[in-house]
């Protein structure tokens, strides 16, 4: 089974041969408060205009599917525009997550969105299932498997409602 099957965290090694593998990345970006944004209205790729105010969020998860395609591959998934990645990084975002199988369109050979993530030293979660998750703030727990030499790590991503005392 590929380490890119199901929900997974991409390692920088996935898009740069001299970058860290998944066993070497810091886990802090994968743990903590996150913002789930409903981006189902995006056309082609999630653009900056498709996002709400981030209000200081450093982990952003994007819902792009009406229903996650559990029974087959949907090659027309919604990617994330490289300009959007650069804007998120400028806002202080450290992790970008999506329910799509990739940040880049399926046909991409240049992986421009992934390259924007690399330039900003952000982390990626792909293949999230967000069908029953309303937009808002949650606690994210999504630890990629520590695989030496791995360009990704499978993970079980969990969102918990925030409790404020």
The residues carrying an active-site annotation are 14
Residues 138 and 33: beta-carbon distance below 8 Å: yes
Query: Any idea which residue has 């792009």 for tokens?
Result: 64
Q: Which of 154, 143, 140, 162 has the alpha carbon at shortest distance from 59? A: 140
DSSP3 helix / strand / coil % (the chain, rounded to 5) = 20, 25, 55
């Amino acid at each position: 089974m590929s380490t890119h099957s199901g929900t997974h965290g991409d390692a920088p090694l996935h898009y740069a041969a001299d970058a860290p593998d998944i066993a070497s990345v810091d886990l802090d970006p994968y743990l903590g408060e996150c913002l789930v944004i409903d981006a189902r209205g995006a056309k082609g790729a999630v653009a900056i205009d498709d996002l709400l105010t981030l209000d200081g969020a450093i982990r952003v998860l994007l819902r792009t599917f009406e229903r996650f395609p559990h029974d087959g591959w949907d090659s027309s998934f919604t990617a994330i525009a490289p300009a959007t990645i650069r804007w998120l990084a400028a806002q202080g975002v450290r992790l970008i997550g999506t329910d799509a199988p990739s940040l880049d369109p399926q046909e991409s050979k240049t992986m421009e969105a992934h390259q924007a993530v690399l330039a900003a030293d952000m982390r990626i979660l792909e293949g999230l299932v967000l069908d029953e998750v309303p937009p808002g703030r949650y606690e994210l727990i999504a630890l990629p498997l520590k695989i030496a030499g791995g360009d990704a790590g499978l993970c079980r991503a969990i969102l918990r409602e925030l409790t404020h005392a």
